[in-house]
Amino acid sequence: MCGIVGHFSAGPVNQQVYDSLLLLQHRGQDSTGIATAEGRTLHQAKKSGQVREAYRTRDMRELLGNIGLGHVRYATKGHATNLDEAQPFYVNAPYGIVLVHNGNLTNTRELTLEMRERDFRHLNSPSDTELLLNVLASSLQDSVGVRHLDADGIFDAVTQVISRIRGAYGTIALIAGHGLLAFRDPMGIRPLVLGRRDVAPETAEAAAGYRGVHGLPATLPESEWVVASESLVLEAGNYEVVRELAPGEAVFIDEAGTLHSRQCAEETRLVPCAFEYVYLARPDSVMNGISIYESRLRMGEKLAETIQREIPDEDFDIVMPIPDSARPAALQVAHSLGKEYREGFYKNRYVGRTFIMPGQAVRQKSVRQKLNAMRSEFEGKKVLIIDDSIVRGTTSRQIVEMAYQAGAVKVSFASAAPPVRYPHVYGINMPNAEELVAHGRTVEEIRDVLGSDHLVYLGVEDMAEAIMAGSDWDGLEMSCFTGDYVTGDVTEEYLEFVAGDQES
């Protein structure tokens, strides 16, 4: 899971990319990067940590140009602290390309061998983003050759890329002197949304002056464009949503601001990642036509039905969420069951999301730094705690302990998602089944590990119905709950390789 954005602007683009990355910060906190194109010159800055603390005025001054892209990283491969693995990645041939990517490729071993023995390209890191960039560069060289690069040539190259790579990916690239490219995997597992807005009259004069100084085409474009992981970026920037990129679709915005698009995959299905709706995305986003907030309310409604069957009514007085992503589900549980809704955990806003912290030891330390249990809300009470999901169990176990220490006489725990029993290989850091508290355990055994009086999970079918209500999707990517990997290329041998690769 990462956050990516690409902007085509009439004037300077650096501030727009920066502001968009702030909105996507929840998707990754390890590192961040921005690249801009000033005609045929590319500028780049990559930093460790979060966006607001990472960039200085001098960095922004050097990010010249009217086309740009950005990335916030949550490491799923390699090392979270290694800035050499931070995105974007750059190759100088052909044309000069920088690229960012959200997701994971699943055929990296085969591609790495091809890069060395067929494409004769050097890889300097274990990042599958660098690998994807080199596949794109090689495909551009093959499909275009010496002729002038245009939208058709770019789409021919993307068609080659999609035929070679496997897995889940939302991708945005800058091609120096040509424009902004974005494309999505053929199953639409990872999200990507396109937006546009008119060039505002009050900014047109300043934009024209900027373009003259920096050698950009003098004619102002009619539209400004954005491609991003989540729709909230579009809403905050006053863009209209054009559409979600279709599975396997590529869009290219040339230097004049003209949008080109083409379907580049032979076979496509729309099978979005369930974990986007459970936890990853912000509740004010809409993905694939479905409101994240409303889907979480529906998950809460389904969860309430399960709780009513499995926990005696007299065993809890109040319903309490783990802030922030569990709030919609907890609100709906309390409303459906006629129980009082209370907030007893105070969240420290200056500590990142514990699920995406690198390393188990860091997660364990961060839980107590992130959450504080207010004794007045727990003492002498029977509490039902709602969380969006239970992954490794580290956070959940400490939260149950905190509730008892604050004076609760009974603590029940409920997850608004099913048990996470299997590794996730499409862009979420769950590569090792042995780290998952639900792997190989019954619900009662998990309850014993957490130390709660009761433990309830939402069922797989209930979750799918809650997320997909009103959609026309072909399915839902739920591999971490079901063990069914929708791309069809994930074997037991591959899962063992991924787990070992993460540990090394």
**Catalytic center residues:** 2
Q: How far apart are CA 417 and CA 457, in angstroms?
A: 6
- What are the two backbone dihedrals, phi and then psi, of residue 115, each rounded to the nearest 5 degrees? -60, -40
Return the axis-axis angle of helices 108-117 and 128-144, rounded to nearest 10°: 50
- 3-state SS class at 154: helix
Q: How far apart are CA 281 and CA 293, in angstroms?
A: 9
Return the axis-axis angle of helices 292-310 and 460-468, rounded to nearest 10°: 150
Whether residue 480 contacts residue 495, with contact meaning beta carbons closer than 8 Å, is answered with no
Which of 283, 211, 222, 235 lies closest to 65 in space, CA to CA?
A: 211
Helix H or strand E encompassing 234: helix 232-236
Q: What is the CA radius of gyration of the chain?
A: 23
Which of 277, 275, 189, 228 lies closest to 469 in space, CA to CA?
A: 277
Which of 23, 74, 73 lies closest to 52 in space, CA to CA?
A: 23
Whether residue 368 contacts residue 357, with contact meaning beta carbons closer than 8 Å, is answered with no
Q: Tokens standing for 165?
A: 């790579």
